[in-house]
Amino acid sequence: MPEAYDYIIVGGGSAGCVIATRLIEETQASVLLLEAGPMDKDMFIHMPAGMRNAQKYSWNYLSEADPDNGVPAIHIHQGRVLGGGSSVNGMVYCRGTAHDYDDWERIYGCTGWAHHDVLPYFIRSERNETLGAPNHGTDGYLWVSEHRYRHPLTMAYIRAGQELGFPYITDMSGAAEQEGVGFWQCTIHEGKRGSTARAYLYRVIKNNRLTLITDAVAEKIQIENGRAVGISYSRKGGSQTEVVANKEVIVTAGAIETPKLLMLSGIGPAAHLAKFGIKVKVDSPQVGQNYQDHLMVSLTAETPGIRSILRESKGLRKIANGIEWLAFNHDGVVSSNVLEGGGYFDIDKDGRIDTQLFVFPFYEGKRSQNATQTAEIPDGISLKVGHVCPESRGEVLLSGATAADTVRLKGNYLTAKGDLDAQVKAVKLGMTFFEAPSLRKIARNISPSITDLTDVAEFVRSNCVTIFHPTSTCRMGPSLKSSVVDLELRVWGVANLRVADASVMPHIVSGNTNAPTIMIAERAAEMIIADLQLLAYQKGDLALA
């Protein structure tokens, strides 16, 4: 007989850890949490500056090149370790803007998902060390803090922004639209990464109603008579195992793996599934469609005489800084998440933020991407800037009928009217920072040089990268025709099956996606628990809840 659990959660990432924790704490249910990657035991996961080693614990995808549009193949990394993206990301706490969520309701028909509806779930999740009511929480589980360490190059960028006339913003996740520069808050606690594994799951990990299985890949959702009844999964070198879900299967595998699993299970565009001999359970045309991500371009300069943070993580400096971090309460340069500062900008002057900038206190040119010796990488600063309200939509497709087959990822970046022009405007804005006195006096060999920007559009096409924020491939909405899940995140056409991760966003938010994903998970957990309590009331069995 297969093992049975009340709830099976596929994906132990940012969302999965939140939902598992809430179900264990607030119900008497049994929960299986399945994660494709390993436990988060590596010290460098928890050391904030160790994020540059993230590829080791990631799904490493490659989008298809688009030669007709001049865009090369682009790497996309997604967490494959307990904690998922929250264990490998840049730890930036950023919600996007109120307009984002209001548009979910106004444009996409997601009634109940406007900003005033979702704000309580951001607040519920948050344990903010410096900001409080009415926009921030102080007694949630997700640690949100200011940086213990701020690099001199980040400080120079902030001064440059003020010299250009941009205000200094104290709350980059405030309720109002705010244009300006500032320091991002971060999901770091006492100098260590605050992933959802550490902030949430480890609170309940010893509870005997929670079963955690790592290094296990979900093969298929078992569907019988229109209901999800369990899943099958496999571990490296092992046979396939089936487990039963008495109540629900909840998929939180991220915006690339979630649509893949649905399609392998027979939920997706019928014609596409037929190509691989997959029996169609639900002809759901939006599965894998509407893929979005944030594109950005790096603008770099050398800063002779100012040691960049990258040099601090090489050779003897790496050893010395690691010892300092371990010995002195996780302080010092490696307690930095590197992405200390940035800005939000309204380039079109329409009252809406459309551009985001991150400052990296190191040189992020081609030499730093390929170099193996510290001497090959100059000290420097990088400004990564991009349009964060894209309209281009790509798709996630199958390449085979098994979980071992990778996906085909068609980004379709810069194909929507206006996206390329918006990226060009973002680059031009970023270049003005090097003209401000605080950066002009220290920056050398700016790349691209201002005189080289005769064709900024070509520069954008050739040098754009994503910042690993895939969303919207199982978007929510009011009907099967327009969406994959309903407004309570239940998969159209299959009972007892939900999706609760970044894939359900009807449109990408104007900022980093980790905090919004955690918000979605908090709300999903509340919905699941409410359904369980209703069932218990109907059956007169309060032990169910």
Q: How far is CA 36 from CA 81, 213, 360, 508, in A?
A: 7, 8, 31, 25
Residue 92 in marked binding region: yes
Q: With 0-12 CB in 10 A as exposed, 13-18 as middle and 19+ as buried, what is 351?
A: exposed
Name the pTM for this structure. Answer: 0.94
Region label for 421, one of left (φ > 0), alpha (ψ between -120 and 50) or beta (otherwise): alpha
Domains of the chain, with CATH numbers? 1-53+78-145+187-290+469-545 (3.50.50.60), 148-164+176-182+295-387+414-463 (3.30.410.40)
In residues, how long is the chain?
A: 545
The beta-strand segments (E) located in 194-294 are: 210-213, 216-224, 227-235, 240-251, 267-268, 282-283, 289-291
Residue 519, both tokens: 């918000």
Active site residue 469: yes
Residue 90 counted as an annotated binding residue: yes
Contacts of 454 (CB under 8 A, 6+ apart): none
Question: At 51, phi and psi to the nearest 5?
Answer: -60, -20
* DSSP codes of every residue in 237-252: TS-EEEEEEEEEEEE-
* pLDDT at 404 (0 to 100): 95
Cβ neighbours around 201 below 10 Å, total: 25
Of the candidates 147, 294, 469, 507, the residue annotated as catalytic is 469
Say if CB 407 and CB 59 are below 8 A apart. Answer: no
For residues 255 and 503, is the Cβ–Cβ distance under 8 A?
yes
- pLDDT of 46 reads 87
- Encode the chain (545 residues) as per-residue pLDDT tens digits: 899 999 999 999 999 999 999 999 999 999 999 999 999 999 889 888 776 667 889 999 999 999 999 999 999 999 999 999 999 999 999 999 999 999 999 999 999 999 999 999 999 999 999 999 999 999 999 999 998 888 999 999 999 999 999 999 999 998 777 899 999 999 999 889 999 999 999 999 999 999 999 999 999 999 999 999 999 999 987 789 999 999 999 999 999 999 999 999 999 999 999 999 999 999 999 999 999 999 999 999 999 988 876 665 555 455 455 555 454 555 556 666 788 999 999 999 999 999 999 999 888 865 444 344 445 678 999 999 999 999 999 999 999 999 999 999 999 999 999 999 999 999 999 999 999 999 999 999 999 876 666 689 999 999 999 999 999 999 999 999 999 999 999 999 999 999 999 999 999 999 999 999 999 999 999 999 999 998 878 777 766 56
Kindly state the greatest CA–CA separation across the chain: 75
What is 327-370 written as a DSSP string? HTTT-SGGGS-S--EEEEE-TT-SSS--EEEEEESS--SHHHHH
Tell me if 321 is assigned to a ligand binding site. no
**Of 503, 85, 80, 49, which is closest to residue 267 (Cα–Cα)?**
503
